[in-house]
Structure 1
Amino acid sequence: MSPPKPTERRAFRRTDDYTPGTPKLKLIKEQLPQTLPPTSAIVKVHAVALNYRDANIANGGNPWPVVPHGILCNDAAGEVVAVGEKIKTLAVGDRVAPITDTENISGRELGRSWLAADEDGVMADYVVFDENKLCKLPTYLDWVSASIIPCAGVTAWSALKGMSIGQTVLVQGTGGVSVFALKLARAAGLRVILSSSSDKKLQQMKEKYANPPLLTVNYSTNKNWHEEVLKLTDGVGVDIVVENGGTGSLVKSLKCARRGGIVSQVGYLGKQNPMDLAELVPTIIDRRVNLRGINAGSKYDMEDFCAALSASQMPLDDLIDSVFPFEEAEEAVEYIWQGKQIGKLVLRV
């Protein structure tokens, strides 16, 4: 006999109080839909992963509008506990996660809707989504590891599109997307150069990924870090840059990409100042660089990525920095906001 359909959920909604030191989240109980839409599913969430984007939204720094008092997070993993009467692709017990941009199914859609921004995110113990916005997750992973796939994993996967064995990639930072990209790139036979503002973090990553040796650059102590990257590539430049900083680092990223290379813009972690882009156009033209914006990826991208993970049985637990109880979401957001993590921070629900 099927368990009774849940009727309410716990969820963390933003306070929208951006004053430093004040709570950014409030735990509330709210009702789930009394009548489940015919092609929707109720998903019991087992783990929620945080990204810098979540802390940025909670602290009022998102460059795009967000729904008032919305629910944070777009990385989660759970199991289907109830389905609508006309659902075709899912069944109770399936392991699933929603896609980050719920309008981006094939990559050809004209609109977009980001979880935790245009609509509520997944920092709750139950969520409801239409079946076309849910992807099945690899069955070999535990809930914590599976929860980092939808946003961080798919973003890294999309950022590395076009890679070939023997190429070189510059990965910026040691956050969730960055460490995911590093792991995928090395598994695919690429040479990785990792940049960070912390020598301590760089040393930790060199010890963790010692074979083959990891090349590193500190962009804080070396203001001309792009020149160091060029030296490490014998003046040629890297084939792909996983660009995380935004305006403060973009031009230098273009300068250390090889002619005809790719810069995948996945984030905007640095202070954004348009004046930093004075050389943008001539640099792009001179180096013939393909600059592409990465907003996670489509549902098809996520399905391809999950298929690759299932085929390779790649472990992801080494990408987890720490796991917090669901009830400590406030502390988790602050941990991310202060940039303490190396890899992913996950809430266990």
Structure 2
Amino acid sequence: MPPPSTHRRAIRRTDDFTPGTPKTKLVSEPLTPLSPTSVLIKVHAIALNYRDANIANGGNPWPVTPNGILGNDAAGEVIAVGDKVKTLVVGDRAAPITDTENISNREHTRSWLAADEDGVMADYIVFDERVLCRLPSYLSWVEAAMVPCAGVTAWSALKGMRIGQTVLIQGTGGVSVFALKLARAAGLRIILTSSSDAKLAQMSEKLGNPPISTVNYAKFPDWEEEVLKLTNGVGVDIVVENGGTSSLVKSLKCTRRGGVVSQVGYLAKQDPSQLRELVPTIIDRRVILRGINAGSKFDMEDFCAALEAAQTPLTDLIDRVFPFEQAEEAVEYVWQGKQIGKIVLRV
């Protein structure tokens, strides 16, 4: 499947953060020539994450390249390889890892797609083979596009859990619904928080029996106390934490002594003054606070192998599919928090 020309279509940021103005633009640009170890991929689907909408609206807490290409969750087909490529062949299903410097979790540097370098929101992408992973063969393109970032993040956030333990999962976005699915498959007790009773009811119905426990944090501002009540005052074993400063201390307070908080995101407005109790709380409860930046290439390979072995369907994680040309509408949909699950662009 050769490319139709020497050019590609890509979605780049406008970097105009004025409310009501377009945050993305569809451009045509030359394809990067293949180096001896690079791979050309025809993209079939791109899954959006909150960070895409946040970056497009100027909220990323780290510097980003000007007018960069959005996206770090995608699935595509290898259509050409450099003459030194050894790990992939034409016809393989593949995608890049989110942090292209994080191969083994031992690296001392990092480079995030859609921030330090161009992302994957294009109909063709070129990456070095060292940052590419094969995707499970049984998944549709739309399902497979959710794996590299949201899926690997949830997989990494739940590392070390054991059957019968309790996990607190915040919200119903992409990483959260992936974590819900993995937690249920792993035999964990689930507590889910959201500000929407409708979303909590929908997720409870979707997950079925055994029933999950839910807490509406809008109705219960001291929601950590509700979580403690649900665990007989002990606390949960692990938290998939995605609020940031507004929720982190509360998450620590409802984690059992010696438990784990996996910080996967920063959905709320960040205010350092909300962290006054961080140090005494983390010491008192002996909690392990670990930052999750998706995961390494090894993590993605392990996750894909687990999915392939279990043949786990992922269609129930999809909220809505937009055509590639409606990327602007899709980004705004995520920015407004309308989704319950993943938003995907079909190319």
Shorter-chain TM range is over 0.9
Q: Which amino acid aligns with 2:23?
A: K
Equivalent positions of 1:257-268 (< 5 A) are: 257-268=255-266
Residue of structure 1 in register with 2:278 after alignment: 280
In the alignment, the residues of structure 1 paired with residue 290 and residue 269 of structure 2 have an alpha-carbon distance, to the nearest angstrom, of 20
In the alignment, the residues of structure 1 paired with residue 328 and residue 170 of structure 2 have an alpha-carbon distance, to the nearest angstrom, of 26
Deviation of 1:98 (Å): 0.4
In the alignment, the residues of structure 1 paired with residue 204 and residue 4 of structure 2 have an alpha-carbon distance, to the nearest angstrom, of 48
Residue of structure 2 in register with 1:188 after alignment: 186
Instruction: Work out the number of aligned pairs and report it.
Output: 347
Deviation of 1:3 (Å): 3.9
Residue of structure 2 in register with 1:7 after alignment: 6
In the alignment, the residues of structure 2 paired with residue 145 and residue 172 of structure 1 have an alpha-carbon distance, to the nearest angstrom, of 22
2:112 to 84, 93, 114: 114
Identity between Structure 1 and Structure 2 (%): 79
Q: Which amino acid aligns with 1:252?
A: K
User: TM-score scaled to structure 1, two decimals?
Assistant: 0.98
Residue of structure 2 in register with 1:19 after alignment: 18
In the alignment, the residues of structure 2 paired with residue 260 and residue 273 of structure 1 have an alpha-carbon distance, to the nearest angstrom, of 26
In the alignment, the residues of structure 1 paired with residue 2 and residue 133 of structure 2 have an alpha-carbon distance, to the nearest angstrom, of 23
Residue of structure 1 in register with 2:330 after alignment: 332
Residue of structure 2 in register with 1:242 after alignment: 240
Could you tell me which runs of 5 or more consecutive residues in structure 1 were left unpaired when the two chains were aligned. Answer: none
Deviation of 1:5 (Å): 7.6
Assess if the C-alpha contact under 8 Å between 1:5 and 1:82 holds in 2.
no
SS in 2 for 1:247: coil
In the alignment, the residues of structure 2 paired with residue 260 and residue 17 of structure 1 have an alpha-carbon distance, to the nearest angstrom, of 45
Equivalent positions of 1:170-189 (< 5 A) are: 170-189=168-187
- 1:319 maps to 2:298: no
Residue of structure 1 in register with 2:45 after alignment: 47
Assess if the C-alpha contact under 8 Å between 1:77 and 1:95 holds in 2.
yes
Deviation of 1:100 (Å): 0.1
Q: Which amino acid aligns with 1:151?
A: C
Q: What whole-Å deviation, never above 9, does each CA across 1:39-65 have from its counterpart, x for those lacking one?
A: 000000000000010000000000000
In the alignment, the residues of structure 2 paired with residue 76 and residue 278 of structure 1 have an alpha-carbon distance, to the nearest angstrom, of 39
Q: Which amino acid aligns with 1:238?
A: V
SS in 1 for 2:260: strand
Deviation of 1:68 (Å): 0.1
Over the aligned positions, Cα root-mean-square deviation in angstroms equals 0.9
In the alignment, the residues of structure 2 paired with residue 5 and residue 39 of structure 1 have an alpha-carbon distance, to the nearest angstrom, of 22
Q: What whole-Å deviation, never above 9, does each CA across 1:44-103 have from its counterpart, x for those lacking one?
A: 000000001000000000000000000001000000001001100000000001000000
Residue of structure 2 in register with 1:344 after alignment: 342
In the alignment, the residues of structure 2 paired with residue 244 and residue 296 of structure 1 have an alpha-carbon distance, to the nearest angstrom, of 13
Q: What whole-Å deviation, never above 9, does each CA across 1:256-284 have from its counterpart, x for those lacking one?
A: 00000000000000111111101000000
Assess if the C-alpha contact under 8 Å between 1:156 and 1:178 holds in 2.
yes
Which stretch shows the higher mean deviation, 150-159 or 201-210? 201-210
In the alignment, the residues of structure 2 paired with residue 177 and residue 218 of structure 1 have an alpha-carbon distance, to the nearest angstrom, of 19
User: TM-score scaled to structure 2, two decimals?
Assistant: 0.99
Q: What whole-Å deviation, never above 9, does each CA across 1:266-314 have from its counterpart, x for those lacking one?
A: 0000111111101000000000000000000000000000000000000
SS in 1 for 2:74: strand
Q: Which amino acid aligns with 2:134?
A: K
Q: Which amino acid aligns with 1:131?
A: E
In the alignment, the residues of structure 1 paired with residue 305 and residue 100 of structure 2 have an alpha-carbon distance, to the nearest angstrom, of 20
Deviation of 1:6 (Å): 4.7
Deviation of 1:221 (Å): 1.1
Equivalent positions of 1:281-320 (< 5 A) are: 281-320=279-318
